[in-house]
Amino acid sequence: MISVYHYMILSAILFAIGSFGVLTRKNMIVIFMCIELMLNSVNLTFIALSRHLGNMDGQIFVFFVMTVAAAEAAVGLALIIAFYRNKESIEVDDFRLLKW
């Protein structure tokens, strides 16, 4: 029997994978995908809990999160493109102008 805990654990693992990805990957697109993974693991938690509690709030929340993630994707990709035009790179290690 798969209970809510299994979903929660799965989403926790996904969340952890996402944050490890943010911490380790170089490519900005990949980092961004990892962040999306984190957000979606949260979505999974919400849906599981919503089902478990028999309460729709969580599912509504998921829609909001998805919308926001889409908006963030648009802005984030635009920023990455602007950077690419100046530097011909999408590696995070290539910006170190602002430091110390």
Residues near another protein (CB under 8 A): 8, 15, 18-24, 26, 28, 31-32, 35, 38-39, 41-42, 45-46, 49, 52-53, 55, 57-58, 60-61, 64-65, 68, 71-72, 75-76, 78-80, 82-83, 85-87, 91-93, 95-100
Alpha carbon distance 26, 77 (integer Å): 15
Report, in Å, the least distance between residue 49 CB and another protein: 4
State the amino acid at position 3 in one-letter form: S
Q: What is d(CA 13, CA 20) in angstroms, rounded to the nearest whole number?
A: 10
> How far apart are alpha carbons 53 and 40 in whole angstroms?
20
Closest approach of another protein to the CB of residue 18, in Å = 7
Smallest distance from another protein to CB 56, Å: 11
Sequence-separated (6 or more) residues with CB below 8 Å from residue 69: 36, 39
Instruction: Return the DSSP state at 46.
Output: H
Residue closer to another protein (CB basis): 1 or 52: 52
